[in-house]
């Protein structure tokens, strides 16, 4: 197997978030080839997202360089023209006063555009940094919420298993005869009073969604659910 180059330390937080989100362990050597390939692909996407603002900044820098170069050229030309007009009389090749003012106006406009570009670049950099900080905070909160939810679910699962285990130990078999005896005792009639016992049992089965067909077999858990329902809803009987 080819040696795996670890993710740089500058992206440790991103790596930890990714491994936790995917439920991966044993980084880097114990990851499967497919897991490693997916990890590298995700990391390349992160790098592309980070480089996009940088490319925009480089474009702005390129525009600024052009403006600065144009500013310098105009300044130099204006300086030469002003010096020439002081030393030599105007001729047909010299610029008029209105043309010099026009050059000055172009220079002023170029300087303003350059300043605006500088301000936009500074604002974009700050905005990008704030966005990165907010994303990091959200990722940490999300991971914390996932861990808390996992902990709550584990505790709930253990509780359900404990209750289920306790019920199994408490009553291993709860057949129809035992159910009839409990119903008769609960509603205060003789166990031989089939009409009352059967009526109460049929009502509970219907409410619980069990089959009310005569002779339908019920499990011990279903029989226990029937008597428990009757105890809770005795006022409806």
Range of 70's domain? 9-168
Q: Shortest CA distance to 223 belongs to which of 187, 189, 174?
A: 174
Q: Shortest CA distance to 21 belongs to which of 157, 139, 156?
A: 139
Residues 29, 136 within the same domain: yes
Q: With 0-12 CB in 10 A as exposed, 13-18 as middle and 19+ as buried, what is 200?
A: buried
Virtual CA dihedral for 67, 72, 75, 78, nearest 10 degrees?
-100
φ, ψ dihedrals at 27, nearest 5° = -70, 140
pLDDT digits (tens, 9 = 90+) for 4-34: 889 999 999 999 999 999 999 889 888 999 9
Residue 182 lies in a domain: yes
Residue 32 lies in a domain: yes
Contact 208, 219 (CB under 8 A): no
Distance of CA 78 to the CA centre of its chain: 58
Residues 145, 214 within the same domain: no
CA distance 79 to 213: 108
Q: Which residues contact 216 (CB under 8 A, 6 or more apart)?
A: 210
Residue 2 lies in a domain: no
Average pLDDT, the chain: 80
* pLDDT in the model for residue 90: 47
**pTM, rounded to two decimals:** 0.29
Pick the range with the lowest mean pLDDT from 20-24, 195-199, 223-227: 195-199
Of 119, 147, 168, the position where a domain reaches its end is: 168
Contact 174, 222 (CB under 8 A): no
Considering its fold, how many domains does the chain have in total? 2
CA distance 191 to 198: 10
CA distance 222 to 34: 47
Of 115, 144, 168, the position where a domain reaches its end is: 168
pLDDT digits (tens, 9 = 90+) for 76-121: 877 777 666 544 444 445 567 788 888 888 888 888 887 888 787 7
Give the Cβ contact number of residue 60 at 10 Å.
15
């Amino acid at each position: 197997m080819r040696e795996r180059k670890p993710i740089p330390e500058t992206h440790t937080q991103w790596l930890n978030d990714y491994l936790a989100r995917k439920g991966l362990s044993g980084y880097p050597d114990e990851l499967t080839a497919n897991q490693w390939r997916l990890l590298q692909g995700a990391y390349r996407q992160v790098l592309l997202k980070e480089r996009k603002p940088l490319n925009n900044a480089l474009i702005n820098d390129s525009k600024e360089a052009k403006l600065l170069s144009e500013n310098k050229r105009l300044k130099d030309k204006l300086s030469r023209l002003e010096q020439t007009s002081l030393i030599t009389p105007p001729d047909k090749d010299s610029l008029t006063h209105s043309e010099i003012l026009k050059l000055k106006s172009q220079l002023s406009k170029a300087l303003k555009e350059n300043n605006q570009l500088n301000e936009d670049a500074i604002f974009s950099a700050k905005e990008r940094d704030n966005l990165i900080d907010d994303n990091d905070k959200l990722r940490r909160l999300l991971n914390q919420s996932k861990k808390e939810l996992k902990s709550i679910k584990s505790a709930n699962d253990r509780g359900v298993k404990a209750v289920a285990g306790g019920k199994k130990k408490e009553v291993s078999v709860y057949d129809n005869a035992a159910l009839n005896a409990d119903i008769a005792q609960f509603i205060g009639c003789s166990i031989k009073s089939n009409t009352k016992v059967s009526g109460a049992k049929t009502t509970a089965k219907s409410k619980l969604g069990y089959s009310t067909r005569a002779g339908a077999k019920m499990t011990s858990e279903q029989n226990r659910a029937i008597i428990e329902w009757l105890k809770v809803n005795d006022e409806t009987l």
